Amino acid sequence: MPDKRSPLSKVVVAFGDDESSVAPLREAFPDLTIEHATADSLNDRIVDADAVLMGWGSADEVLEHGQKLVWIQNVGAGVERLVTDDFRERDLILTNGSGIMAPNIAEHVIGLMLAFARRLPQLFDAQRERRWRADVGRESVTELTGQTAVLVGLGDIGLAVARRLKAFDVTVIGVRRSVGAELPEHVDEVVATADLDSVLGRADHVISSVPHTPETVGLYDAARFAKFKDGARLYNVGRGTSVVQPDLIAALASGKLSAAGLDVTNPEPLPEDDPLWAAPNVIITGHTSGATPLFEERLFALFSENIRRYVAGEELLNVVDQERGY
Ligand code: GLV
C-alpha cells in the first residue's frame, strides 16, 4: 500500500445523472460519506472530499477545488488530459477505468474487421441505390480464417480482441512494452514495442489500442506504413494522435493499406472538411466503440471494489503509472 494513502472519509461521485447511482455504494460503505455531484454542485462538494469518481469532462474543477483529494478514480481508461506535470506533483493516487469497455470495444473491432472482409460498406452503398449486390463476389471478399493480426497494445482491450480473434482461427501477435515471461492467453506470440516493425510485414490486420503518450504520438507515419504488408488493414481504437492522418490517407490512396477502421481521430470531432472522411475504404465510427449499456454497472463494480480495497489497505485495481501515462 502506498504511504500516501490516508483514511477515506468522504467520497464524491461526479458521474451519473442522479443520486440513485450512489445508493449501492452508501449501503456497502455505511461508514463513509458518499455524495453524488452534478456539474452545479461539484465545486462545493469536492472541497472536503478524499476521493472522487471522476466523470468525463470535470477534470479542471475537480483538481482546482478538490485540494484535499488523495485518490481519483477516473471513469475512462485514457488519462492524458489529467496527468500533467502539475498533476504528478500533487502525488495523488490515480486509478482508471481500464477493462470496463474492453468487451464492447473488442466487439467493435471484430465488427469492423468483418465489415471489410464481407465488403459491407460496398453492399450498403449498393442497397441505398437499390442495386443488387454491386460487384461483391469471391474475388473481392476476404476471410479472417487463417489470417494474422498484430495487436499493438496488449492491455484489457488488446487481450479482449485476442480472445475473440481466436474464435476466427486468426494468428495473434501481441506487441507491448516488454515481452514478459508468460504468453498471455489467446496470444500466439509477443514482441516488444521496439520490435514492432519486425512483425508488421506479417499482419493482415494491425489493431492499435495504445493510449496517448509521448511514445505513441505519430507511431503510424509514412515510414511505418512502408513496413506494413501490402493490402493490410489498420484499426484504431486507442487514440487518434498515434496516426499521422495525411500519411494514412496517402497509404490508403496508394493501396499500400486496403482499409482503415478508425474509432478515434485527431482531432475529435473530425472537422467536416477533413480529407480523412473521404479516404478510400475508411470506416470512421466517431469514438463510439466504448459505448455499452453495461458501462455503469461495470464502472460501479470497479469503484466499489476499489473502495473496499482502499479501506482494507489492499492494492487498488487499475493504478495508473503516472510516469508512463497509463
Ligand atoms: C475512452 O476513450 C477512454 O479513455 O476510456
Instruction: Give the residue, by CA position, lying nearest to ligand 1 atom 5.
Output: 76
Separation between Cα atoms, residue 281 and residue 286, nearest integer Å: 16
Sign of CA dihedral 223, 205, 193, 97: positive
Domains and CATH numbers, the chain: 10-100+294-312 (3.40.50.720), 102-284 (3.40.50.720)
Question: Burial letters for 1-14: b for 16+ Cβ neighbours within 10 Å, e otherwise?
Answer: eeeeeeebebbbbb
Which regions of the chain are under pLDDT 70? 1-4, 58
Instruction: Give the residue, by CA position, lying nearest to ligand 1 atom 4.
Output: 78
Q: How far is the CA of 284 from the centre of ligand 1 (A)?
A: 16
Separation between Cα atoms, residue 77 and residue 82, nearest integer Å: 11
Task: Rounding to the nearest 10 degrees, give the CA dihedral for residues 101, 103, 109, 110.
Answer: -170
Task: Rounding to the nearest 10 degrees, give the CA dihedral for residues 193, 199, 205, 211.
Answer: 0
Q: Does residue 76 line the site of ligand 1, with CB under 6 A?
A: yes
Q: Amino acid identity, residue 307? A: I
Reduced to 3 states (helix: H, G, I; strand: E, B; else coil), residue 104 is helix
Q: How far is the CA of 245 from the centre of ligand 1 (A)?
A: 20
Residues 166-202 have pLDDT tens digits of 999 999 999 999 999 899 999 999 999 999 999 999 9
| End-to-end CA gap in the chain | 19
Which residues are identified as catalytic? 239, 268, 287
Atom of ligand 1 nearest to the CA of 211: 4
* pLDDT for residue 4: 63
- Model pTM score: 0.95
* pLDDT for residue 157: 98
* pLDDT for residue 164: 98
Q: Amino acid identity, residue 284? A: I
Residue of 76, 35, 71, 80 lying closest to 299 (CA atoms): 76
* pLDDT for residue 18: 83
Q: Does residue 55 line the site of ligand 1, with CB under 6 A?
A: no
